[in-house]
A and B are shown apart, each in its own frame.
Chain A
């Protein structure tokens, strides 16, 4: 009965991830990312915030079934529109979803584009493959899509090679390509890293506009607090393979609960004030060196003995949870 309730509840969610764990294949080492809980409702933008070594990229690759061969999903269930796409037996279903269901843009826009093919050819191929356009219609549609991403002369861009585009243009072209198949979920891994500030906010504007128009959801994976503050509704904070805190973006950013989130936010410089930036002591533990319980314990100024046991989710607000013993019984 619990099972039916559960599935009934999950169908109006676009993507649900339950207790996902990923680790090295054939290895006794602890899972690198574990206990990942995530729900992506329709028409919602979720931010995944974490520094290097937090496992945020590994998580998004696991969602798409694109982990590198030395890594494997150890446990957990991933459902897309209620259908299980985790595990080997559902591999076909997952493959069919890539493109029209889920699309991903990775950090380096130029790596996503084939350097010896015109930008247009690459977009048109996708349109013909996934949306059944004819050659001519695909060309028109591709130009239309680029226009939505702020290209003043889309036809010229279609005929250009990737190296002829500037960083911001390439990132917009890649986003246009990813969204060309009208995916229901866009996974954007560091969409603005390496771009200048003015370009970055422009790229985000276009991305959000197209996502809103196509009624898609997005998972924005980034280390940049400014990006999540600008575009996301809901926020997931990761540290060393654990989700340490999740909740509505505005609430997490104004009232961070987990000591890691607090430390991270206190490290972000702002123009408004010349504040003493503190930073977080130590460094993200390496995957061979994870402490048994809370993985933040060695860097945390509140650490106590019970921290060597994994803390469960503690509710700290409406839909806002923190995995820290500090919140027990509050």
Chain B
């Protein structure tokens, strides 16, 4: 088997002054041209992981192997070689573009810093990139505040793609945008992947968006991956109670008819010490005594699940209370 594009092993990062590491022994793998989705709620450590990967934060342990280069405590020269191949698109295009620079300068910034593109070709490359993200060429002289949210995000994508990266981290690229605009951005990202074969690490809290763009999914909870596997399996038949709860909490855009049992997490009480074993133990309706110990990885339906109970016992699922019907009207 050939070495994948990116392999992360046992990655750990803790913010100073926090008891529990924000990223706690995470393993991930992305192969050339594929997309991995990293799902989790706010505070799950998914964005921290992305920042560690880009060298914006310094992990305290573990390994990151990207195209055969080790990135943990890597030398400056390694980073210089790797950076062009490893780019990021941030969530909010309003703050991810320098407000004082014109679109052309923003997109040309990586080209100039990396020095891979000869100076006189930069202009052409910028035009090419604008075309790639479907922006009209007369936008080169515009400033970010003159663009709409969707246009700004396209500029950010063009900047990330400028240096022909083989992996782009997409940190919630559509969640600050309107739905109809977000849909177009997702569309564009998929087109680009088909055209250029760029691999994506797609970080999001939105499972429905994830479904559209990723091949494999890892679900993150309090710094740990609790379930990972093919997108279809994880999203349609989640086997970890946390993934199941995330899925069941989604508000479907159509009126719901089928009354399937829904997994609801127990309310969180803020003043408890973080659990040592399974991170879900205090919120999981199925929690048992053994859940206080770190759960083993089990393979269920092609997915890796970190749960003592996996797969979710269906009889206990159906024993949960039925979903609330709409309180008012209908």
Which partner residue on chain A sits nearest B231 by CB separation? A274
Of the candidate stretches B17-25, B262-270, B287-295, the one touching chain A is B262-270
Question: With A and B bound together, what is the CA distance between A231 and B180 in angstroms?
Answer: 22
Of the candidate stretches B26-34, B64-72, B113-121, B208-216, the one touching chain A is B208-216
- Chain B residues, CB < 8 A from A233: 328-330
Question: With A and B bound together, what is the CA distance between A67 and B148 in angstroms?
Answer: 24
Point out which of B180, B245, B267 has the most chain A C-beta atoms below 10 A from its C-beta.
B180
- Chain B residues, CB < 8 A from A208: 326-328
Are A270's CB and B252's CB within 8 A?
A: yes
How many residues on the B side are at the interface (Cβ–Cβ under 8 A)?
45
Interface members, chain A 170-199 (any B CB < 8 Å): 196-199
Question: With A and B bound together, what is the CA distance between A25 and B309 in angstroms?
Answer: 64
Are B265's CB and A198's CB within 8 A?
A: yes
Are B187's CB and A271's CB within 8 A?
A: no
Interface members, chain A 250-281 (any B CB < 8 Å): 250, 253-254, 263-280
Point out which of A43, A44, A283 has the most chain B C-beta atoms below 10 A from its C-beta.
A283
A214 to chain B, nearest CB (A): 11
* B186 within 8 Å of A (CB atoms): yes
Are B270's CB and A166's CB within 8 A?
A: yes
Residues 292-330 of chain B, each 1 if its beta carbon lies under 8 Å from chain A, else 0 = 000000000000000000000000000000001011111
* A297 within 8 Å of B (CB atoms): no
B41 to chain A, nearest CB (A): 4
Interchain CB contact (< 8 A) of B250 among A51, A150, A197 = A197
Q: How many residue-residue contacts, CB under 8 A, span A and B?
A: 144
Interchain CB contact (< 8 A) of B249 among A43, A198, A269 = A198
Which partner residue on chain B sits nearest A160 by CB separation? B270
B82 to chain A, nearest CB (A): 32
Are B328's CB and A211's CB within 8 A?
A: yes
How many residues on the A side are at the interface (Cβ–Cβ under 8 A)?
56
- Chain A residues, CB < 8 A from B253: 225-226, 229, 253, 265, 268, 270
Interchain CB contact (< 8 A) of B328 among A43, A51, A273 = A43
Given known contacts A253-B255, A264-B180, A265-B253, A275 and B328 CB-to-CB distance under 8 angstroms: no
Interface members, chain B 178-210 (any A CB < 8 Å): 178-184, 186-187, 205-209
Question: With A and B bound together, what is the CA distance between A244 and B74 in angstroms?
Answer: 56
Which partner residue on chain A sits nearest B43 by CB separation? A196
Question: With A and B bound together, what is the CA distance between A31 and B141 in angstroms?
Answer: 32
Residues 225-267 of chain B, each 1 if its beta carbon lies under 8 Å from chain A, else 0 = 0000000000110000000011101111111100000001101
Are B324's CB and A271's CB within 8 A?
A: no
Are B324's CB and A269's CB within 8 A?
A: no
* A224 within 8 Å of B (CB atoms): yes
Are B256's CB and A229's CB within 8 A?
A: yes
* A201 within 8 Å of B (CB atoms): yes
Interchain CB contact (< 8 A) of B267 among A43, A51, A150 = A150
* A221 within 8 Å of B (CB atoms): no
- Chain A residues, CB < 8 A from B187: 276-279
Are A231's CB and B255's CB within 8 A?
A: no
- Chain A residues, CB < 8 A from B78: none
Are B256's CB and A267's CB within 8 A?
A: no
Question: With A and B bound together, what is the CA distance between A218 and B328 in angstroms?
Answer: 10
Residues 268-309 of chain A, each 1 if its beta carbon lies under 8 Å from chain B, else 0 = 111111111111100100000000000000000000000000
List B residues at the A interface (Cβ < 8 Å): 41-42, 148-150, 178-184, 186-187, 205-209, 211-212, 235-236, 245-247, 249-256, 264-265, 267, 269-270, 324, 326-330
Closest 4 pairs (CB-CB, A-B):
A226-B251, A279-B184, A279-B183, A267-B183
